[in-house]
Structure formats: structure tokens, C-alpha cells
């Protein structure tokens, strides 16, 4: 079973790395064996612990962007009532773009759930994916710098808009799907959900700020829905779960997520993915070397 120290440490780690583009699951899988913690990562209690920390993170995201979500939900209902998405209705478009971008990861997750789940207890494979996550992040910055393509906006004023929500709402449906497929890389532990979606946003023409904001909004329903749907499957009557440690870990994850999203929304106003890319590449390669040489 988890100790309280392990629960707090892994919870904080998950909350921070879920939003930083460095893969929370990658760190949760790689770290315990690296430091010698004897944690059965396939055990029901540990899976429940991870799901609880993810739900806590999603609730923090929902609270942090609560004003946006109120406008998005109103926009979706407004478009349903009118049976039309007005080109200048920023939040109706943004809401449906999030729905469209959610589909690829949802479909692939359902189709290949068991195959992806087997990787959670494979630290060597995860360390490789963590390094590849760095390659993807760095590659998106390089390609964006070379292409420097403008966003093919669906509304005439989006390209010059300063508001990141307005910029994101200018995505075409096909580009939203591309971001969704990029985000689906995070089904492999070691690839970052935020990082993959952010990289996809950069490659289809968004700037760092609007791409990060769209990635955070996109992650919220996926993380929450995955956690809520999975939790009942994992809680089996008769199994012993460290409830206190799970709650403590979830609270730690929420705290880590809150400070992370506050920091990152400001960071991506002026800075890039390159430092995170270098970190993932180095951490992945070093972790792989340690596992192989043991």
C-alpha cells in the first residue's frame, strides 16, 4: 500500500505534470521503480489512486476556467436552439470545436484500451515514449518556425484578435480534428496530453497562448469523463483501498494542478515548448539507461 509520503509526492507530481507538457502518467510509471518504491502499478488500489488524482486535476481546471465554461455551455445550447452556429459566436464555435477535437482520443481510447493499459507497468517503454514526447514538442516548435503559417480563420476578425478564445474559435473543423489526433498520443504513457494538444495547435496555426488555452479546455472534459467512467469499474466490494492516502493524494494533485495552470497560462503568453522538450528528452534517455543497466 501507499504511504502518506508517497501519496502526497505522487499526487503533487501528477497534478503538476498533467498540465505541464511533460506527461503525468509517464512520471507516475517511471518514478517509483527509479527511486526503489515497491508499488504494484497494476494493483486496483494504485489505479484508483491515479484516477482520483486525475479527477481532482480536472475539477481544478473546470474551476479555473469556470467563466469560459459557462460561456461555452451557453453557446452550445444557443446553437442547438437556433440550429445554427453563427460565424461570430465565439463560444458556440469554441464549444463545438472542443467536442470535435475530443472524438479522436475518445474513439482510440475505447478501441485500444487494453493495449494501452498494458504499458502502465512497462517503465522501459514509458521512458522511450517520454523521450519521444520531447522530440514531438521540439519538432512542433521547429516546424512552426519554418512554416509560420497563418490561421485559416472561419471568421474575418479572428486572425487579428488579441483574445486567445477568439483565436481558438477561428480553427476550422479539420484543424480541430488534427489537434484531437495529436492529443490522442497521450494514450501512450510518456506522451503528454497538454503537450501533444499544444503541439498540434501550433502546427495548425495557433500561437502559444491560444494553443495552450485550447489544450487546457480540451483536456478538462476528457480527464473528468475518463476518471468518472473508470472509477466504478475499479472499486470492487471486498477490496481493501487506502482511502485516506487516496484522498490525500487527490488533494495534493489539486494543489499542484492549481499552481501549474496559473503559471502556465502566463508562461505561454511569451515563451515556448523548447525547455520542456529538452527536459523530456533528457529524462527519458536517462531513465531508459538506468532501467537497461540495472
Query: In this predicted model, what pLDDT tens digit does every residue of 27-59 receive, in sequence order?
Result: 877 888 888 887 777 777 787 888 889 889 999
What's the mean per-residue pLDDT of the chain? 85
pTM of the model: 0.85
Lowest mean pLDDT: which of 2-16, 34-48, 110-124, 213-227? 110-124
Burial class of residue 211, CB neighbours in 10 A (0-12, 13-18, 19+):
buried
Those residues whose C-beta lies under 8 Å from the C-beta of residue 201, and which sit 6 or more positions away, are 168, 179, 210, 211, 212, 214, 215
Instruction: Return the closest-CA partner of residue 284 out of 141, 136, 155, 139.
Output: 136
Contacts of 153-157 spanning 24+ positions with Cβ under 8 A: 154/87, 154/93, 155/87, 155/88, 155/93
Q: What angle do CA 166, 170, 176 make, to 5 degrees?
A: 120
- Give the pLDDT confidence of 189-218 residue by residue, as tens digits: 889 999 999 999 999 989 999 999 999 999
H helix or E strand, kind and range, residue 220: helix 208-234
Amino acid at each position: 500500500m501507499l504511504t502518506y509520503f508517497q501519496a502526497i509526492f505522487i499526487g503533487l507530481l501528477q497534478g503538476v505534470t498533467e498540465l505541464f507538457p511533460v506527461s503525468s502518467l509517464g512520471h507516475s510509471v517511471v518514478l517509483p521503480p527509479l527511486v526503489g518504491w515497491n508499488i504494484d502499478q497494476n494493483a486496483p488500489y494504485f489505479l484508483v489512486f491515479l484516477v482520483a488524482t486525475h479527477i481532482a486535476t480536472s475539477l481544478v481546471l473546470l474551476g479555473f476556467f469556470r467563466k469560459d465554461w459557462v460561456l461555452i455551455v451557453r453557446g452550445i445550447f444557443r446553437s442547438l436552439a437556433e440550429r445554427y452556429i453563427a460565424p461570430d459566436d465565439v463560444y458556440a464555435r469554441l464549444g463545438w470545436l472542443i467536442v470535435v477535437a475530443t472524438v479522436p482520443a475518445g474513439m482510440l481510447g475505447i478501441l485500444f484500451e487494453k493495449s494501452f493499459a498494458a504499458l502502465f507497468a512497462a517503465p522501459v517503454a514509458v521512458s522511450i515514449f517520454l523521450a519521444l514526447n520531447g522530440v514531438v514538442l521540439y519538432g512542433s516548435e521547429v516546424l512552426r518556425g519554418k512554416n509560420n503559417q497563418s490561421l485559416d480563420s472561419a471568421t474575418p476578425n479572428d486572425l487579428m484578435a488579441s483574445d486567445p478564445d477568439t483565436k481558438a474559435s477561428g480553427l476550422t473543423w479539420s484543424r480541430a480534428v488534427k489537434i484531437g489526433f495529436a492529443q490522442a498520443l497521450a494514450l501512450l504513457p510518456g506522451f503528454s496530453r497538454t503537450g501533444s494538444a499544444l503541439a498540434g495547435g501550433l502546427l495548425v496555426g495557433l500561437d502559444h497562448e491560444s494553443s495552450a488555452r485550447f489544450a487546457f479546455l480540451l483536456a478538462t472534459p476528457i480527464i473528468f469523463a475518463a476518471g468518472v467512467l473508470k472509477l466504478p469499474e475499479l472499486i470492487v466490494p471486498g477490496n481493501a483501498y487506502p482511502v485516506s492516502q487516496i484522498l490525500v493524494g487527490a488533494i495534493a494533485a489539486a494543489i499542484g494542478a492549481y499552481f501549474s495552470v496559473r503559471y502556465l497560462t502566463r508562461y505561454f503568453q511569451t515563451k515556448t515548448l523548447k525547455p520542456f522538450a529538452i527536459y523530456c528528452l533528457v529524462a527519458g534517455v536517462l531513465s531508459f539507461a538506468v532501467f537497461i543497466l540495472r
